[in-house]
Amino acid sequence: MAASPVHPDLRRAARVLPRGVAGPRSVKVLRMLERLADRRPAPSGVEVERAGSVTVRVHRPPAAPGGPLPAVLWIHGGGYVIGFAAQDDRSCADLARRLGAVVVAVDYRKGPEHPYPAALDDCHDALVWLASLPGVDRRRVAIAGASAGGGLAAALALAARDRGEVEPAFQLLVYPMLDDRTTLRPDLDDRHLRLWSGRSNRFGWRSYLGADPGFPGVAPTAAPARADDLSGLPPAWVGVGTLDLFHDEDAEYARRLREAGVACELEVVQGAFHGFDVAVPKAGVSRRFRDSQVAALDAALNASPERPVGAG
């Protein structure tokens, strides 16, 4: 019997996790559960605010030094159809503590009820609000997200460059959902995929775009991999597993960023499936993946003259 390609730390979870989690039926159930969870009062230390058109959750470091602080805009995942900001309260609080930064998570609108550009506009409103927040150093604001949130972070980097209101210092893209054309590749729907399959991908993109994915005319700020010009974007960190449906599109995006002159660190985790760090957070491979993200953000936001922003 051939050895499993799944990372040893993740094999037990891989036996029970589903291949995909998003579809017309499952989304209804998941959203009902989200509404119930979202009714809970915010935990101590979390401030719920309005940022233009959208609600955000603000996490502050427990012991902030004097002077303006760096900040991170965090965008949750969920295939553009599910998820909510409160799901990442624990990880956002951890980021705030470890970075000494203000971390703001945005509750953007989702498809299919609110197709592109609703989510992107919400995230841009939150970015402008965060950069203007008293006590935040607008020169040290990073944008970050996972899965669809990573795709939105990449799209927001493009939009921020073109709109010119805020210049992010860094973009952290955790197994980002970047390219609707991946839906046209049946060869990627491998049996080892977990939590995000080709079927889920088609449903997520169709819901977000309001049309069938994979065809000409999709805006680059909807699917960042469609962008012809990646120059002038902030330095980036991209992380993805080899068993993730998004592996190829993420690696290609990192290559194109470098080709365009953008400093980019690509971290590929052998044998890791989509969302592995959330599904198995205590595994050694998940902890190392998380530590790498924190280190990249720390280097960008708390850089010294000896360690310039974007150094990897």
Would you say 295 and 289 are in contact if contact means Cβ atoms under 8 Å apart?
A: no
Q: Which residues contact 129 (CB under 8 A, 6 or more apart)?
A: 51, 52, 56, 104
Examine the residue annotation and report whether 114 is marked as an active-site residue of this protein: no
Name the catalytic one among 147, 200, 207, 286: 147
Residue 303 to residues 222, 234, 310: CA-CA distances in angstroms?
Answer: 31, 15, 9
Would you say 120 and 157 are in contact if contact means Cβ atoms under 8 Å apart?
A: no
Residue type, 92: C
Name the catalytic one among 107, 125, 244, 250: 244
Examine the residue annotation and report whether 200 is marked as an active-site residue of this protein: no
Residue type, 206: R
Name the catalytic one among 59, 274, 277, 286: 274
> So which residues are the catalytic ones?
147, 244, 274
